[in-house]
Amino acid sequence: IDVKGPAKDIFRGAGSYSNGGAMKIAPVSLFSYNNYDNLLHYVKEVTQITHAHELGINGATLQVITNSFVQPYKERLKIVKNLLSETGGELNEQRIIEELGNKLTALESVPTAIFCFLNAEKRIKGIRTDNPVRRAIQYAITLGGDTDTIASMTGAIAGAFYGHEKFNRLLLSHCEQADRFEELADALLDVAISKT
């Protein structure tokens, strides 16, 4: 019996891309606990029974990944919030490293980059610039560890928030292809728009 066939036949053979697959996928997280490869396999298998379109399957995949793996990041973001809310002087870099990390793993670098961006909204002792993008990047570098990646992620967050106007020539002179950033961004946007 072809249990996936009917889902492929609806919507003129394109399959459904609604959110129904994502709505019912949570139990797969439990079924595939601690086995990421099985998780991805079963999400696709289960979703294809009712939602054959790639967007429906991808939505269910995103939902189940969020359900399964968000907890460690949730804990780290609580630490970010607590560190940012503390008063009474500057935060010790060693404490940031111990509580958030500065390593190669995403769990020990992405929350750190978020913290660096948020912390740089105010002046930071030892960093002399009024530019919040530069301040965020410099602060990320002071934490050591995987500095190029953490500083890059911090700069990306700050750049998205503040816009390209805050990237001065000196800062851009250290970036490969900086003279083409606007051209490349426009090209990416054109590709994204043409696919919609």
Q: Which residues are annotated as a binding site for Mg(2+)?
A: 146, 148-149
Residue with tokens 């390593």: 103
Residue with tokens 């697959």: 21
Pair of tokens at residue 56:
């429906």
Q: How far is CA 131 from the centre of its chain?
A: 24
Binding residues: 146, 148-149
d(CA 116, CA 155): 9
Contacts of 135 (CB under 8 A, 6+ apart): 120, 123, 124, 127, 129
Question: What number of other Cβ atoms are within 10 A of residue 157's Cβ?
Answer: 19
> Would you list the DSSP string of 98-109?
HHH--SSSGGGT
> Would you list the DSSP string of 95-140?
HHHHHH--SSSGGGTHHHHHHHHHHTTS-BTTB--S-HHHHHHHHH
